Amino acid sequence: MDPTPTPSPYFGPPPFKFTPTGGSISGPAFSVTFKILATLIVAGLAAAFVQAWLAGRASGTSAAGGWFIAGLLLVGCTWWYILRSVTRLDEQGLHQSWVWDKHMELRELAYGKLIRVRGLEWLIAPRLYVRTLMGKFAVFYAASPEMVAEFERLVSELKTFRSQR
């Protein structure tokens, strides 16, 4: 028998492993109420611009009209991503579609915290703040109760795993 220890393929702490219930779960990042509120805000801004344009106070060529259109485009782009954003949790990592899709591998996680405003979860989506062993961090939103429950379980298991090491 060879007394030489087998080298570990990993340097530093061991990788974190987590399996979501069912292997994978996905759901909307933002609540329906929040999406409706965002839609009303964008529609209100668009209506305000149209009203100002019809009254002759704003046009696409004036400085005020150009800035308003630019702002409306930025708000409209954000609104579009709010409507379409989906969060997914699987055995490999956390994923959220957004302007630039977010991804965080579970094996690299060092810390996690679920941030929520109890009683207002119908409006303000709970979010999972995660940080890797290298200090990279990201925030993932979840509107579905199933996803929030998985986030809670992930945070609990991660805390237990890292405190044992």
Full domain range(s) for residue 100 = 24-163
Please give the Cα distance from 153 to 165 (Å, whole number): 19
Total domains in the chain come to: 1
pTM: 0.82
Does residue 106 contact residue 149 with C-beta atoms inside 8 Å? no
**114 belongs to a structural domain:** yes
The CATH number that applies at residue 138 is: 2.30.29.30
pLDDT at 92: 93
Joined tokens for residue 101: 């899709």
Amino acid 53: pLDDT: 76
pLDDT tens digit sequence for 122-154: 889 999 999 999 999 999 999 999 999 999 999
